[in-house]
Amino acid sequence: MSSEAASVAAPPAAPAMLFGHPRALAFLAGTEFWDRVSFHGMQALLTLYLVDQLLLPGHVERVVGFAGFRAAIEAVTGPLSTQALASQIFGLYVGFALFAPILGGAIGDRWLGRTRSVALGAILMTFGHLAMAFDQSFLLAMLLLIVGTGFLRGNLAPQVGDLYDRDDRDRTVAFQIYGAAINLGAFLAPIVTGALAQQVSWHAGFGVAAIGMMIGLVTYLWGQRLLPPQAKRIATAKPPPLGREGWGRVAILVSLVPLAATFWVAQSQIWNTYNIWVRDHLQLSIAGFQVPVPWLQSIDGLAPFLTLPPMLAIWRWQHARGREPDEFGKLAMGCFIFAASTLWLAAGQFVVDAEGRTPFLWAVAFHLFSNFGWLYFAPTCNALFSRAAPVSVTATLMGLYSVSVSLGSFVSGRLGGFYEAMTPAAFWTLHAAVVGGGGVLILTFGMAFRRRLFAPQAATSPAPQ
């Protein structure tokens, strides 16, 4: 085996930090933190911005190409109200942004290399956020953000998996740490952008997202020397054939995508129509202070960050006794927890104060409990795709995992259009049924395919030479 192949199979040791993990993990997680400041800052504002400003007369006429864009959407959905159109646009934006990593990952695997792809993605996203400063360039901004997200996320997360042997259980722990960076960014972004949008302007909130993305690029480039060799290499040789076993793994992972999407149907709605529900039904006045709507989503980001250490301790305790669930068990548990949490949200319709509004703490409890579900599901699904994917197409298939998020977002956007025609209790119960049913299907899927996915794959997918 050549020295390069050896470095691919077993990355060189690096000075340890962050719970004994390679130092490169800190820079990858730091880059992802700023990506999430950028992305979640944008996501927290988008539906409210569309409903309260951009789609109103005096603004919507300025958006270049919007008449044709709306006509294309309504050709599929039929005529939409302002709220339903905003929900649909949100779903399309998030859906396409989270589908794009499969293409960005493939380009990074085959041509550009992961480092160049991440840098290009960060630059495109920065310009996309800056374009949000003008009504006229809204659709251009959406395009830049979608393409940039594809390049950045399609090539950043696979580098976390490259730091570990494929069967090292620390790989799952590393994705938990990586997930903590995601959630810390998701916690801070709505606080900052929500305050700026309320006190200054919508465009000031979007501007902060651009600054965050520039800082993320600097963080990534600063840590380049610690990255695994795969990140820096531009693919020049034809990748090894997958073989029958490799293609079998690909088929199984493709089949898992729609099942994983059921979780994201419900979770994506918490960044979409949920904002409208909070604005209209939640008691936001506390001691005379009016809480900005996006601040609720900061709890959504903070809760997993706080619960990560005890969660890892529980898993270590279970592992020592041979009781730790495998990836499929954890995915199903995440779905069931999120379904129960969404039912709690539905019950909020029947717990109201004298003004007919659900207490603020009811929503706080929802965010805290539902994020246990996120912690079980999202990092574990990343680790599963990283572990089970054939070596030569790891980035591509980790991008495939993002398709499940994309598909869930598309469906979530469509369901958001039904919000005005349903009671809040019925609306959230529908989402609980979707994600709970997904948990049952994932458990069944795991019983059928876990042995094939987790079997050693060195013989069918050799490391690149």
Phi-psi region of 424 (alpha: psi -120 to 50; beta: other; left: phi over 0): alpha
Provide CB contacts within 8 A for 30, sequence distance 6+: 181, 216, 219, 220, 223
Give the angle subtended at the CA of 448 by the CAs of 443 and 449, to the nearest 5°: 100
Categorize the per-residue pLDDT at 313 as very low, low, confident or very high, splitting at 50, 70 and 90: confident
Res 207: pLDDT: 84
Q: State the Cα–Cα distance between residues 141 and 126, nearest whole angstrom.
A: 10
Report helix, strand or coil for 197. helix
Q: In this predicted structure, which of 8-12, 251-255, 325-329, 346-350 has the lowest mean pLDDT?
A: 8-12
Provide CB contacts within 8 A for 83, sequence distance 6+: 51, 276, 419, 420
Q: State the Cα–Cα distance between residues 270 and 277, nearest whole angstrom.
A: 10
Name the pTM for this structure: 0.74
Identify each DSSP E strand in 177-328 by its residue range.
Answer: 285-286, 289-290
Residue type at 344? W
Residue type at 293? V
Q: In this predicted structure, which of 33-47, 334-348, 395-409 has the lowest mean pLDDT?
A: 395-409
Q: What is the CA radius of gyration of the chain?
A: 22
Name the residue among 154, 148, 122 with its Cα closest to residue 395: 154
- Please check the confidence at residue 109 and state whether its pLDDT lies above 80: no
Contact 219, 213 (CB under 8 A): no
Name the residue among 204, 173, 457 with its Cα closest to residue 324: 173
- What share of the chain in percent tops pLDDT 70? 89
Residue type at 189? A
Pick the CATH number of 20-230+242-454 from 1.20.1250.20, 3.40.50.720, 3.40.50.300, 1.10.1750.10: 1.20.1250.20
Give the domain ranges of the chain: 20-230+242-454
- Please check the confidence at residue 264 and state whether its pLDDT lies above 50: yes
Q: In this predicted structure, which of 17-21, 129-133, 252-256, 326-330 has the lowest mean pLDDT?
A: 17-21
Q: What is the mean pLDDT of residues 87-113?
A: 86
- Looking at per-residue pLDDT, the higher value among 289 and 394 belongs to 289
- Please check the confidence at residue 464 and state whether its pLDDT lies above 70: no
- Looking at per-residue pLDDT, the higher value among 59 and 193 belongs to 59
- Looking at per-residue pLDDT, the higher value among 62 and 465 belongs to 62
Q: In this predicted structure, which of 250-259, 377-386, 430-439 has the lowest mean pLDDT?
A: 377-386
Contact 104, 68 (CB under 8 A): no
Q: State the Cα–Cα distance between residues 155 and 395, nearest whole angstrom.
A: 6
Phi-psi region of 113 (alpha: psi -120 to 50; beta: other; left: phi over 0): left
Name the residue among 322, 315, 331, 321 with its Cα closest to residue 446: 331
As a whole number, the mean pLDDT across the chain is: 84
Res 321: pLDDT: 86
Q: Residue 138 belongs to what H/E stretch?
A: helix 138-162
- Please check the confidence at residue 232 and state whether its pLDDT lies above 50: yes
Provide CB contacts within 8 A for 465, sequence distance 6+: 1, 2, 4, 5, 237
Q: In this predicted structure, which of 90-99, 173-182, 408-417 has the lowest mean pLDDT?
A: 173-182
Res 463: pLDDT: 37
Res 53: pLDDT: 93
Q: What is the mean pLDDT of residues 259-283?
A: 92
pLDDT digits (tens, 9 = 90+) for 180-189: 788 788 888 8
Residue type at 219? T
CA 238 to chain centre: 31
Q: What is the mean pLDDT of residues 331-337?
A: 95
